[in-house]
Amino acid sequence: MSGHHNPSGRHHDHDHGHHQLSFLRKYVFSVDHKVIGVQYAVTALVFLFFGFSLMMLMRWQLAYPGKSLPLLGGLFPPDGVMKPEMYNSLGAMHGTIMIFLGVVPLLVGGFGNYVLPLQIGAPDMSFPKLNMMSYWAYFVGGVVMLSSFFVPGGAANSGWTSYAPLSVIAGKGQTVWLLGMVFLITSSLLGSVNFITTIVQLRAKGLTMFRLPFFVWAQFVTAFLLLLAFPPLEAAAVLQLMDRLAGTSFYMPEGLVVSGVPQAYTGGGNPLLYQHLFWFLAHPEVYVLILPGMGIVAEVIANNTRKPLWGYRAMVYSSIFLGFMSFIVWAHHMFITGMGTKISAFFAATTMIISIPSVIILTAMIISLYRGSIRFNVPMLFALAFLPMFAIGGLTGLPLGLPASDIQLHDTYYVIGHFHYVVAPGTIFAIFAGIYFWYPKVTGKRLNEALGKIHFWLSLIFMNVVFMPMFFQGLAGVSRRLYDQTVYAHGEAVQTLTRMSSWGAWMLGVAQLPFILNFVMSLVASRKTAENPWQATTLEWAAPTPPPHGNFLVPPVVHRGPYEYSVPGMKRDFFPQHLVVEG
């Protein structure tokens, strides 16, 4: 709602007289997409580290069940041992925070907000005030989520999926979780409306849809996924709130007895309704987590192989097809709920089909490397590591998409290993690639290469130490969400693997120290970098660094595709999109 702005001539001069915005308007309640992007990114990074810390605590209980925590024992009175309820809360909040407060806001709110308008040559997002509101809705949602740790009974502890009826009879923290989700969903919806409108309306002159960088395409498809998949979750959350607060029975079957106590619900509801509505969102959400990551990796690969992306159009069509298919695969999360065999077969088939576009995108990026003169800088290392890591995550998903093998593997550590390979060494590596790649654009400074390489190699090693053992644990039959797997013989047998994972997680935490140091130190210590340090072709590098409010000094005009690297017969090996002749 920007009715506040006054486009009439009479007041125009008056407006220009007020370029000195107050601190609050400039840095806190800013409507500039770049400030909002940085706000999103920094908040989301803090949440990512917080969510990761929760898991590092849980890994102690898993590795050394029943032992009191060293150093941090004070967090768990009286004896420093994590209680099962606390373990459940930490698990639920880890998932929620990482997905809804960390990765998605960072990829879409952070990178999307900052880079996308620049890459399409726009002065800002279409609805700047809406953009600000979506950040603050996200912020409030985050605060609400965190505050749930302090309500009686602790934070939500029914898993990040909040399956009913468990979540309906859970403590007060679950209500807070649902309220927090309503804010986060609202934020995402406002954001996606803004992204789609911006891409459709505000592209620079000459920037046709097939001259868009792949990152913009990825964000475009992602925005549609958020727009159409989140509302059913909002519906599911509203119904769960009603069940919890008004005593309705949307998800409550007749005659429900919990721990020997009959529940005061009329019944007639169905827990599967929740699962359907939840996964109707949550499967597209998986692609929300990965598509922008693929977009970042594509940008970094094209730039550092110094050649055009191989199969750009195939990648674009694949991502559209991927987005479409992601709406009709959700029930593969529910094979063991007793769905009919025909329905299971249908969802197994769509699941196999959706792997095709993912493989096309991945293959196109791998072929793009072929005969490139690759620059092994830090963003490129992360982008290169993304490829095999995502491949492991994707391929281990196939057995989960087939009902027969899924019955064995469902809800085991195998599932945890699978999706973490997609989001942790997959998406998070793409995020790191993006941070190292665009940091010079945002700050005008470059991150230190040596520290970056230490960060990369340690992260790569320990990511695998954390998640590879989980496949073997899962195949050994260890269920996820267990407080203490050693009470079972088959869990005890693979406890060494659990310890390995735990030590990997703690070392992974240590491995992030060079990054934090680098991130902060480079702001103050490093010298100003060149305007276009990576010699890139896309439009964000055509704006001044760091870009002023309004971005471009002159509205750019685009003359060619996004990745004109190593054009034969040219002096330089890159030909920016906005130049008429080689400059």
Partner 1 sequence: MGGAHADVSGHVKMYIAVFAALAIGTIVTVLASTVDLGGHWNVAVAMAIAAVKASLVAAIFMHLKWESASVIWITLLFCAIFLVVLMALPVLTSGDRPPMVQIGSWG
Partner 2 sequence: MSAGTLPYKVEPHPVTGVYSGKLGTWLFLASEVMLFGGLLSAYVFLRVGAPEAGPAAWPTHEQTELSWKIGGINTLVLILSSVTMVMAWVALKMNDVAKGKMYLAVTAALAMTFIVVKLALEYHPKFKHHHVPSTNNFFALYFTLTGLHALHVLGGVVVILYFLLPGAGLWKTNPTYYTNRIECTGLYWHFVDLVWIFLFPILYLMN
Q: Nearer Cβ to partner 1, position 67 or 276? A: 276
**Residues 470, 491: Cα–Cα separation, whole Å:** 12
Q: Which amino acid is at 497?
A: L
Tell me the closest approach of the beta carbon of residue 270 to partner 2, in angstroms.
Answer: 6
Picked from partner 2, partner 1, none, the partner binding residue 342 (CB below 5 to 8 A depending on kind) is partner 1
Tell me the closest approach of the beta carbon of residue 546 to partner 2, in angstroms.
Answer: 15
Tell me the closest approach of the beta carbon of residue 341 to partner 1, in angstroms.
Answer: 6
Tell me the closest approach of the beta carbon of residue 322 to partner 1, in angstroms.
Answer: 14
Site for partner 1 in 193-212 (CB under 8 A): 196, 200
CA distances to 101, 192, 403, 512, 529 from 470, in Å: 25, 35, 21, 22, 42
Q: Does residue 22 touch partner 2 according to CB under 8 A?
A: no
Picked from partner 1, partner 2, none, the partner binding residue 449 (CB below 5 to 8 A depending on kind) is none
**Residues 192, 4: Cα–Cα separation, whole Å:** 23
Q: Nearer Cβ to partner 2, position 3 or 260? A: 3
Question: Which residue stretch of 267-275, 395-403, 405-413, 485-493 sits at the interface with partner 2 (rule: CB under 8 A)?
Answer: 267-275
DSSP state of 428: I
Q: Nearer Cβ to partner 2, position 113 or 126? A: 126
Q: Nearer Cβ to partner 2, position 184 or 302? A: 184
Tell me the closest approach of the beta carbon of residue 150 to partner 2, in angstroms.
Answer: 29
Residue 434 burial by CB count (10 A; 0-12/13-18/19+): exposed, middle or buried?
buried
Picked from partner 2, partner 1, none, the partner binding residue 476 (CB below 5 to 8 A depending on kind) is none
| Binding test (CB under 8 A) with partner 1, winner from 156, 241, 282, 331 | 331
| Binding test (CB under 8 A) with partner 2, winner from 114, 250, 287, 429 | 250
Tell me the closest approach of the beta carbon of residue 228 to partner 1, in angstroms.
Answer: 6
For 185, the token pair is 């969903």
Q: Does residue 456 touch partner 1 according to CB under 8 A?
A: no
CA distances to 269, 302, 309, 310, 552 from 365, in Å: 47, 9, 7, 7, 30
| Binding test (CB under 8 A) with partner 1, winner from 110, 112, 213, 232 | 232
Q: Nearer Cβ to partner 2, position 157 or 192? A: 192
Answer positive or negative: Cα dihedral of 483, 486, 489, 493. Answer: positive
**Residues 92, 119: Cα–Cα separation, whole Å:** 37
Q: Nearer Cβ to partner 2, position 254 or 531? A: 254
Q: Nearer Cβ to partner 2, position 208 or 341? A: 208
| Binding test (CB under 8 A) with partner 1, winner from 75, 343, 349, 398 | 343
Picked from partner 2, partner 1, none, the partner binding residue 340 (CB below 5 to 8 A depending on kind) is partner 1
# residues near partner 1 by CB under 8 A: 23
Q: Which of 294, 407, 402, 387 is nearest to 353 (CA)?
A: 402
**Residues 513, 458: Cα–Cα separation, whole Å:** 11
Please report how many Cα atoms fall inside a 13 Å half-sphere around the Cα of residue 238, on the Cβ side: 8
| Binding test (CB under 8 A) with partner 2, winner from 345, 544, 550, 570 | 550
Q: Does residue 520 touch partner 1 according to CB under 8 A?
A: no
**Residues 27, 50: Cα–Cα separation, whole Å:** 24
DSSP state of 258: E
Residue with tokens 């990745």, as numbered in its chain: 563
Residues in Cβ contact with 201 at an 8 Å cutoff, skipping those fewer than 6 apart: 126
**Residues 238, 232: Cα–Cα separation, whole Å:** 10
Tell me the closest approach of the beta carbon of residue 219 to partner 1, in angstroms.
Answer: 15
Q: Does residue 328 touch partner 1 according to CB under 8 A?
A: yes
Q: Nearer Cβ to partner 2, position 273 or 320? A: 273
CA terminus-to-terminus distance, the chain? 41
Residues in Cβ contact with 88 at an 8 Å cutoff, skipping those fewer than 6 apart: 157, 158, 159, 481, 483
Q: Does residue 68 touch partner 1 according to CB under 8 A?
A: no
Q: Nearer Cβ to partner 2, position 38 or 430? A: 38
x-or-dash string of contact with partner 1, 248-287, rule CB under 8 A: ----------------------x-xx--xx--x-------
For 111, the token pair is 């990178």
Q: Nearer Cβ to partner 1, position 290 or 329? A: 329
x-or-dash string of contact with partner 1, 286-325, rule CB under 8 A: --------------------------------------x-
Could you give the angle at the alpha carbon of 126 between the alpha carbons of 122 and 131, nearest 5°?
115
**Residues 351, 127: Cα–Cα separation, whole Å:** 36
Q: Which amino acid is at 444?
A: G
What's the count of helices (H) and strands (E) in the chain, helices before strands? 22, 2
x-or-dash string of contact with partner 2, 373-412, rule CB under 8 A: ----------------------------------------
CA distances to 336, 339, 349, 544 from 342, in Å: 14, 8, 11, 58
List for the chain the helix, strand, coil content (%; round to 5).
65, 0, 30
Q: Which of 409, 424, 418 is nearest to 478 (CA)?
A: 409
Q: Residue 574, SS3? A: strand
Bond into 514 cis (ω within 30): no
| Binding test (CB under 8 A) with partner 2, winner from 239, 380, 431, 543 | 239
Site for partner 2 in 152-211 (CB under 8 A): 189, 192-194, 196-197, 200-202
# residues near partner 2 by CB under 8 A: 59
* Site residues (vs partner 1, CB under 8 A): 196, 200, 224, 228, 232, 270, 272-273, 276-277, 280, 324, 327-328, 331, 337-344
